[in-house]
Amino acid sequence: MSDYADRFVAFAVQHEVIRFGAFTTKAGRLSPYFFNAGLFNTGATLQALTEFYADALLAQAPPHDLLFGPAYKGIPLVAGIAMTLAQRGHDLPFAYNRKEAKDHGEGGVLVGAEPRGKRVLIIDDVISAGTSVRESVHLLRQAGARPVGVVIALDRMERGQSDLSATQEVARDWSLPVTAVATLDHLVSYLERSNMSADLLTQVRHYRATYGVLPS
């Protein structure tokens, strides 16, 4: 696992998708780093991102029949990952949702492959409050599908609404295992090996010690 995780962190830092400074999180915490998967915004970087997702999915994800990407960031992710997996010999159907139901044409909220009766992996970038996962689970269950797991790019490994991390809360509340391409621990390891400032490493370690949660 560490090979693709470490390569992903280095790639994200190189393309400034992981940035360092002073950032306020949704929880109101002052973080020394920020991750924004939306900055993988060229064909080449998106292709590379989907390769990392495919590595993690094939190595760790539970058995599944369909990929689902919640609007909006999940849409290019799920399409790109499906194409990358097909190139590796794993041709899977995929679907995504609209933010608003369509009342003409095929109608409805879901677009793409029919999820009914399928075991579904939910594809997202990160889990903060778990809102996207909750909405996805409801949509999929209403459509007759069975969500079986979530795959994200980065697990920040910090407390959510309780003493558990946001990813651990998803596992507890929905019985869904969460697969991450990389974690905050991989970012710390990257900083330890890099030529970046010792002060930055100290800040990230302090943030991890203050808000972090041990892995399950």
* Count of Cβ atoms closer than 10 Å to residue 78 Cβ: 27
Q: Catalytic amino acids?
A: 102, 104
User: CATH no. for residue 184?
Assistant: 3.40.50.2020
Q: How confident is the model at residue 127, as a pLDDT?
A: 85
Is 18 part of a structural domain of the chain? yes
Is 146 part of a structural domain of the chain? yes
Its domain, for residue 164, covers 2-211
Average pLDDT over residues 28-49: 94
Is 106 part of a structural domain of the chain? yes
Tens digit of pLDDT for each residue in 46-78?
A: 999 999 999 999 999 999 999 999 998 999 999
Burial 12-49 (b: 16+ CB within 10 A, else e): bbebebbebeeeeeeeeeebbbbbbbeebeeeebbebb
Q: How confident is the model at residue 216, as a pLDDT?
A: 66
Helix ranges restricted to H, 61-142 = 74-87, 131-142
Lowest mean pLDDT of 2-11, 62-71, 92-101, 149-158, name the range: 92-101
Q: How confident is the model at residue 103, as a pLDDT?
A: 54
Q: Are 170 and 127 in contact (CB under 8 A)?
A: yes
CA distance linking residue 52 with residue 5, whole number of Å: 8
Tens digit of pLDDT for each residue in 162-188?
A: 889 989 999 999 999 999 999 999 999
Which stretch, 25-34, 80-89, 91-100, has highest mean pLDDT? 80-89
Is 216 part of a structural domain of the chain? no
**Average pLDDT score over the chain:** 91
Burial class (CB in 10 A: 0-12, 13-18, 19+), 196: middle
Tens digit of pLDDT for each residue in 137-146?
A: 999 999 999 9
Residue type, 113: A
Secondary structure (3-state) at 188: helix
Is 51 part of a structural domain of the chain? yes
The total number of structural domains in the chain stands at 1
